[in-house]
Amino acid sequence: MSKRKKGAFKAGFVSIIGQPNVGKSTLMNALVGERLSIITAKAQTTRHRIMGILTGEDFQIVYSDTPGVIKPKYELQKSMMRFVHSSLEDADLLLWVVDLEEKYDPTHPLIDKLLFTKIPMVVLLNKIDLASGTQVKDKVHHWRQHLEGVSVLPISALKKVNLDQVFKSILDHLPEHPPYFPADSLTDKPERFFAAEVIREKIFQNYKQEVPYSCEVVVTEFKEDEKIIRMRAEIYVERQSQKGILIGKKGAALKKVGIASRKDLEKFFDKQVHLETFVKVAADWRKKQMRLKQFGYSG
């Protein structure tokens, strides 16, 4: 299949991009085989660029999961889009994820970039587990018609259908290059970051409407000894009224988030976890540069 010399190592960056909710984080987790990115049924849960690293005997793939492509309305979203743009610039391959609903749209905020990029691209038509064979065929045809020369692969990230094809096509596109990260690294982000993301996921799952979008989680303490990890997490909301909602009657709502988070954190770190949570108000933090910087969005 490939002409490369035996023993030549391949390594490169693969960026996963697309509209909110099409399954980008599900795909990255499936490809890396770990649960690195939080997944919820709500749009815009992924706020940062999250790298997932997969190293094999003769290859290393550095995936970037990105926030969905949107037209930014406030500072936080602008920063989210900077993460998207940065992962377009240094990639060796783009995985453009679309779902069954989506149609080729020339007014898509990134379509220009995608059409004229010199970076090779594969379109992944996701969620085919929800459609009939004919529907899938029609959709694949639709994308092939509009994007000449681009390969279109039907997949299901959730049911892990055709992911071996995706993997094969990634390997074909990787340049010969020594590894970028040590073989045992899983991600470029520190443990605290993932701890905060797990808690954020639980907030998305437990509250309605605007509240989760107004929350940011900062893990301010992360102390690990042989048996247990002790964590302290601060949850920031934008207004006093949201603080009340988050905590709930007699603290019941926050307790639920704490218990669910701890369960997942124990799975993630494979260790007993002690978690303390505090709710704080940071007025309008999503619009404030200083706060965004403090929360790690100065991308």
Conformation bin of residue 53: beta by default, left when phi > 0, alpha when psi is -120 to 50: beta
Mapped onto helix, strand or coil, the DSSP state of residue 251 is: helix
DSSP class of residue 286?
G
Count the residues of the shown chain that bind ligand GDP, applying the rule CB under 6 A: 21
Under rule CB under 6 A, residue 26 binds ligand GDP: yes
Enumerate residues 83-142 that contact ligand GDP by CB under 6 A: 126-127, 129-130
> Which residues in 53-72 contact ligand GDP (CB under 6 A)?
68
Among 46, 64, 79, 156, binds Mg ion (CB under 5 A): 46
Q: Select 95 or 275, whichever has its Cβ closest to ligand GDP.
A: 95
Give the pair of three-digit tokens for residue 284.
Answer: 């309008």
Q: How far is the CB of 181 from ligand GDP (least distance, A)?
A: 23
Q: Please tell me the distance from the alpha carbon of residue 188 to that of residue 181, in angstroms, as a whole number.
A: 9
Q: Does 252 bind ligand GDP (CB under 6 A)?
A: no
Q: Does 165 bind ligand GDP (CB under 6 A)?
A: no
Measured from the CB atom, the residue of 87 and 126 that comes closer to ligand GDP is: 126
Our CB check for ligand GDP shows the closer of 44 and 294 to be: 44
Classify residue 183 by its DSSP letter.
T
Cα 76 from Cα 93, distance rounded (Å): 27
**Burial tier of 248 (Cβ tally within 10 Å: 0-12, 13-18, 19+):** middle
Tell me whether residue 100 or residue 281 sits nearer to ligand GDP (CB atom). 100
Give CA–CA dist 151/90, Å, rounded.
21
Residue 131 Cβ vs ligand GDP, minimum distance, rounded to whole Å: 10
- Residue whose pair of structure tokens reads 């039907």 in the numeric block: 154
Q: How far is the CB of 160 from Mg ion (least distance, A)?
A: 17
Q: In degrees to the nearest 10, what's the CA dihedral of 240, 245, 251, 253?
A: -150
Residue number, nearest CB to ligand GDP: 23
CA pair distance 69, 40, nearest whole angstrom: 16
Q: Is 25 in the site for Mg ion (CB under 5 A)?
A: yes
The binder of 79, among ligand GDP, Mg ion, none, by C-beta within 5 to 8 A per type, is none
Per-position x/- string for 143-162, each x denoting binding to ligand GDP as judged by CB under 6 A, each - no binding: -------------xxxx---
**In the block, which residue shows the tokens 């905590």?**
247
Q: Does 15 bind Mg ion (CB under 5 A)?
A: no
Judge contact between 239 and 215, C-beta under 8 A.
no
Chain residues that interact with Mg ion, rule: CB under 5 A: 24-25, 46
